[in-house]
């Protein structure tokens, strides 16, 4: 399964599922304005008094606040430069409360307002820029890593909803049976938008950090997610969504969000790319704050706009931030993104992040009336600094979880949530569970899974992939194939995969079978891997074509450019042992007995330069190999029967040594091959990113060309990153080579600036 399949699945599910209107709870909505000039006030903070349940007004001055706690009867509203307000509310009711705030009393002398000439923005002599440079200078001491020890509790909630689904949808014949889902709407989370929440995941964790020796540890106390059953890989889906809504650390130079990298407004290079303006100076809790607004110098770059509050206590820390993405940035399907960050003061007068809220609106049509809303809210509490724990607290794996944490009771969540669920959110779990028992839903998802993922599940076995059932090529003619693989429902330690294929032109059977056994009582797809695998395969192959992510007998790859009638029949017998370690170092031991037989117009000739060359019917070799791999800090989108590496800024080192063994299982050649490779995903801030690969290969020994390095070519109509896409297969063969590949993505840095 790849990212495209995951995204299509999400979209398909959202068109079927939704939830929930909110009543039976306290819901406050309204607008906050200046009592004197009637202007709306943006990003005003408000919370139920004596609670941690709060929010802020949006960029239109509107807000929505809710809770199930019926003992909360007062609403506290605060905004720098204005008097705080304490308002009485009616618990358990939905009510509209438009709030007027009065500015703090200030002694002002009479001033005369005159039109000022337009001044060109400059950094020189700009007090706002000087202040930002102070913030940049003090970043290291304002990050949690500046403490020797840090610990805190974190509550992570992610939700996806379908927006503005027609009320008439539930009246249509196909959807009538899903009326209990479609009638549950939430019109309060986002003002003016009707939401149908259908995906929800919660996680509660205790987090520890030690500076020396540096160690970060997260203990999962509880996690809960909607369960779509066998149709959707819930774990993989959850990790993919979390990667989209990544943690936002404003103190980093770059912020990764919605699979793109944005330059932070307090990055080291911020004064070069942002314009800053001082909006206000106020005193809150005896600390003077300055409100700075910022905007990109070029609105098409990957930059934010918004405002931040900076402390003037010598720490120059961020006390609050609102980050929004400019509409001129071309982000596919993304209509708007907003990030709200709130910081609380520690006893030592420094600040830590107390709440992070990310809201993204994915528009799926040109009119912008529908789409998907996604939110991720992180709430932090019990923040403790410089209190060391025993070494056993920090030892062990960086992430600790358990089956107990995945099966917490409702009473546990009611007592330990650091935030509240809306009525709509709380019903998501029950509604999705109800759908699982509906035969019509299961039939629909069965069809969708087969079409989108390519596999039909039969519990412990999956049939597929469907896109390889039929294909064609010049050697085999029409080719039919059927196969499948086992799932963790059969066993977490034993895995089997197989297929059989038949070509009607060459009238030959092809087959594959593999058996894998996990040696660490974990799935072979779970980190760290530790397994042994044996496989046997007889199939056709185009020498010099090695595609990523797809099977070569995919139906769409039957269409090729140029002449493609030189094939091999490959007979492989493999034995592989893989062992990964917690530090992300791994090694792989392998043995392969390999026979190559030419097919189509390909043929082998021995002693080609002699007076009497002879035809060679096949080549047989036996190889042993050792691969060493080190991928520091590597993470994965982890699914039940797949894992996909998540790109990060750390390089990946790979070294492989292969030795051919003459006279072992009819092997004819002695040789040695050394392959060294370095891969790097290089983030370049507003200039995008580049995938860089450097590889050197050297073969020692005299061997025929099919055993040399046949450099990857691609004559299909699909682009392949690891191939020379303008080169024909078998065009270059070598016993020594050095290759540098750079795949640069500017993410619109140039084309976003082109009109239309």
Q: What is the pLDDT of residue 733?
A: 92
Percent of the chain with pLDDT over 90: 40
Say which range, 322-326, 557-561, 749-753, has the weakest mean pLDDT.
749-753
Residue 413: pLDDT band (50, 70, 90) is: very high
Residue 230: pLDDT band (50, 70, 90) is: low
Highest-pLDDT range among 352-361, 597-606, 664-673: 664-673
For the segment 261-270, the average pLDDT, to the nearest whole number, is 93
Residue 411: both structure tokens together: 């009473």
692 beta partners: 680, 742
C-alpha to C-alpha distance for 561 and 224, rounded to whole angstroms: 49
C-alpha to C-alpha distance for 61 and 77, rounded to whole angstroms: 13
Q: What is the pLDDT of residue 192?
A: 65
Q: Estimate to the nearest angstrom the gap between the alpha carbon of 192 and the chain centroid.
A: 29
For the segment 160-174, the average pLDDT, to the nearest whole number, is 75
Q: What is the pLDDT of residue 21?
A: 34
User: Nearest-CA neighbor of 32 among 69, 78, 91?
Assistant: 78
Q: Tell me what percent of the chain is helix, strand and coil, each rounded to the nearest 5.
A: 15, 45, 40
Condensed to tens digits (0 to 9), the pLDDT of residues 3-21 reads 445 545 555 544 444 333 3
Higher pLDDT, 418 or 227: 418
C-alpha to C-alpha distance for 545 and 553, rounded to whole angstroms: 12
C-alpha to C-alpha distance for 111 and 43, rounded to whole angstroms: 29
Q: Please confirm whether the linkage preceding 39 is cis (ω < 30° from 0).
A: no
For the segment 486-490, the average pLDDT, to the nearest whole number, is 89
Percent of the chain with pLDDT over 70: 89
For the segment 277-301, the average pLDDT, to the nearest whole number, is 85
Does the pLDDT at position 244 exceed 90? Answer: no
Q: What is the pLDDT of residue 447?
A: 79
Higher pLDDT, 480 or 716: 480
Contacts of 481 (CB under 8 A, 6+ apart): 468, 469, 470, 471, 499, 500, 501, 502, 510, 553
Residue 430: pLDDT band (50, 70, 90) is: confident
C-alpha to C-alpha distance for 573 and 595, rounded to whole angstroms: 9
Condensed to tens digits (0 to 9), the pLDDT of residues 34-62 reads 888 888 887 787 888 776 567 777 767 88
C-alpha to C-alpha distance for 697 and 677, rounded to whole angstroms: 9
Condensed to tens digits (0 to 9), the pLDDT of residues 89-102 reads 888 888 888 999 88
Does the pLDDT at position 213 exceed 80? Answer: yes
Average pLDDT taken over every residue of the chain: 84
User: Nearest-CA neighbor of 2 among 462, 546, 550?
Assistant: 550
Residue 665: pLDDT band (50, 70, 90) is: very high
| Long-range contacts of 357-365, Cβ-Cβ distance < 8 Å, separation of 24 or more | 358/245, 358/248, 358/257, 359/190, 360/244, 360/245, 360/258, 360/334, 360/336, 361/163, 361/334, 361/335, 361/336, 361/337, 362/333, 362/334, 362/335, 363/333, 363/334, 363/335, 364/11, 364/333
Say which range, 341-355, 385-399, 464-478, 549-563, has the weakest mean pLDDT.
549-563
Residue 217: pLDDT band (50, 70, 90) is: very high
Q: What is the pLDDT of residue 80?
A: 67
Residue 304: pLDDT band (50, 70, 90) is: very high
- Full DSSP string of 153-170: EEEEEEEEEEES--GGGG
For the segment 199-224, the average pLDDT, to the nearest whole number, is 93
For the segment 293-304, the average pLDDT, to the nearest whole number, is 90
Judge contact between 454 and 466, C-beta under 8 A.
yes
Q: What is the pLDDT of residue 127?
A: 92
Does the pLDDT at position 371 exceed 50? Answer: yes
- The C-alpha R_g of the chain, in whole angstroms, comes to 30
C-alpha to C-alpha distance for 231 and 9, rounded to whole angstroms: 10
For the segment 64-87, the average pLDDT, to the nearest whole number, is 81
Does the pLDDT at position 651 exceed 70? Answer: yes
C-alpha to C-alpha distance for 622 and 571, rounded to whole angstroms: 12
- Which residue bears the tokens 């058996």? 515
Does the pLDDT at position 220 exceed 90? Answer: yes
Q: What is the pLDDT of residue 364?
A: 60
Judge contact between 26 and 96, C-beta under 8 A.
no
For the segment 553-575, the average pLDDT, to the nearest whole number, is 87
CA atoms within 13 A on the CB side of 348: 14
CB-CB neighbours of 589 under 10 Å: 14
User: Nearest-CA neighbor of 52 among 282, 339, 342?
Assistant: 342
Q: What is the pLDDT of residue 149?
A: 94
Contacts of 242 (CB under 8 A, 6+ apart): 158, 376
Condensed to tens digits (0 to 9), the pLDDT of residues 99-124 reads 998 887 544 344 444 444 556 888 88
0.95 exceeded by pTM: no
User: Nearest-CA neighbor of 252 among 233, 265, 234?
Assistant: 265
Residue 550: both structure tokens together: 């797809």
Q: What is the pLDDT of residue 106?
A: 45
Condensed to tens digits (0 to 9), the pLDDT of residues 384-410 reads 999 999 999 999 888 898 889 989 998
Q: What is the pLDDT of residue 111?
A: 41
Q: What is the pLDDT of residue 539?
A: 93
Residue 699: pLDDT band (50, 70, 90) is: very high
């Amino acid at each position: 399964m790849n990212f495209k399949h995951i995204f299509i699945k999400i979209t398909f599910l959202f068109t079927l599922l939704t939830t929930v209107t909110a009543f039976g709870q306290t819901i406050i909505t309204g607008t906050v304005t200046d009592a004197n000039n009637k202007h709306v006030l943006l990003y005003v903070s408000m919370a139920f008094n004596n609670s941690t349940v709060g929010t802020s007004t949006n960029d239109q001055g509107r807000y929505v606040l809710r809770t199930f706690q019926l003992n909360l009867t007062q609403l506290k509203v605060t905004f720098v430069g204005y008097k705080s307000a304490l308002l009485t509310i009616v618990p358990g009711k939905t009510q509209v409360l438009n709030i007027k705030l009065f500015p703090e009393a200030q002694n002002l002398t009479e001033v005369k307002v005159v039109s000022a000439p337009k001044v060109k923005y400059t950094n020189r002599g700009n007090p706002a820029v000087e202040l930002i440079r102070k913030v940049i200078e003090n970043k290291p001491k304002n990050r949690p890593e500046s403490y020797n020890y840090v610990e805190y509790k974190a509550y992570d909630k992610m939700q996806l909803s379908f927006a503005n689904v027609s009320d008439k949808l539930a009246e249509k014949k196909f959807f009538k049976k899903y009326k209990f889902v479609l009638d549950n709407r939430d019109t309060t989370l986002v003002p003016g938008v009707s939401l149908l929440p259908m995906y929800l995941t919660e996680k509660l964790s205790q987090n520890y950090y030690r500076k020396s020796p540096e160690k970060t540890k997260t203990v999962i106390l509880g996690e809960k997610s909607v369960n779509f059953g066998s149709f959707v890989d819930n774990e993989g889906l959850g990790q993919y969504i979390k990667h989209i809504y990544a943690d936002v650390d404003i103190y980093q130079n770059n912020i990764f969000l919605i699979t793109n990298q944005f330059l932070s407004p307090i990055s080291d290079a911020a004064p070069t790319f942002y314009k800053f303006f001082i909006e206000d100076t106020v005193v809150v809790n005896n600390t003077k704050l300055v409100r700075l607004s910022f905007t990109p110098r070029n609105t098409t770059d990957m930059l934010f706009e918004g405002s931040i509050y900076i402390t003037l206590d010598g720490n120059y820390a961020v006390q609050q931030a609102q980050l929004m993405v400019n509409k001129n940035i071309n982000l596919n399907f993304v209509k708007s993104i907003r990030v709200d960050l709130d910081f609380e003061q520690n006893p030592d007068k420094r600040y830590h992040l107390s709440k992070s809220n990310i809201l993204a609106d994915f528009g799926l049509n040109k009119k912008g009336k529908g789409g998907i809303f996604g939110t991720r809210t992180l709430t932090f509490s019990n923040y403790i600094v410089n209190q060391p724990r025993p070494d056993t607290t920090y030892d062990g794996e960086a992430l600790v979880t358990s089956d107990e944490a995945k099966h917490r009771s409702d009473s546990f969540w009611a007592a330990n949530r650091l935030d509240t669920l809306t009525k709509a959110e709380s019903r998501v779990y029950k509604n999705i569970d109800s759908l699982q028992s509906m035969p019509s839903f299961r039939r629909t998802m069965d069809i969708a899974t087969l079409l989108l993922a390519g596999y039909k599940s039969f519990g412990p076995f999956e049939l597929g992939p469907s896109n390889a059932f039929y294909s064609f090529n010049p050697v085999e003619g029409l080719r039919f194939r059927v196969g499948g693989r086992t799932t963790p429902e059969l066993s977490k330690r034993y895995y089997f995969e197989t297929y059989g294929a038949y070509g009607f032109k060459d009238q030959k059977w092809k087959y594959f079978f593999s058996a894998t056994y996990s040696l660490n009582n974990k799935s072979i797809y779970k980190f760290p891997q530790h397994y042994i695998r044996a496989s046997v395969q007889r199939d056709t192959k185009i020498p010099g074509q090695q595609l990523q992510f797809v099977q070569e007998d995919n139906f769409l790859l039957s269409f090729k450019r140029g002449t493609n009638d030189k094939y091999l029949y490959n007979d492989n017998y493999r034995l592989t042992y893989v062992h990964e370690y917690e530090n992300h170092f791994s090694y792989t031991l392998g043995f392969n007995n390999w026979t190559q037989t030419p097919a189509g117009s390909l043929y082998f000739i021995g002693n080609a330069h002699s007076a009497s060359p002879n035809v060679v019917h096949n080549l047989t070799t036996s190889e042993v190999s050792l691969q060493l791999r080190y991928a520091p800090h590597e993470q994965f989108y982890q699914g039940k029967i797949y894992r996909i590496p998540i790109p990060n800024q750390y390089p990946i080192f790979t070294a492989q040594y292969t030795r051919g063994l003459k006279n072992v299982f009819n092997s004819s050649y002695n040789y040695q091959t050394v392959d060294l490779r370095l891969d790097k995903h290089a983030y370049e801030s507003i200039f995008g990113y580049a995938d860089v690969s450097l590889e050197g290969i050297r073969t020692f020994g005299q061997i025929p060309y099919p055993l040399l390095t046949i450099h990857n070519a691609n004559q299909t109509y699909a682009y392949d990153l690891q191939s020379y896409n303008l080169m024909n297969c078998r065009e270059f063969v070598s016993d020594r080579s050095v290759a540098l590949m750079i795949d640069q993505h500017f993410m619109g840095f140039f084309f976003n600036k082109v009109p239309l």
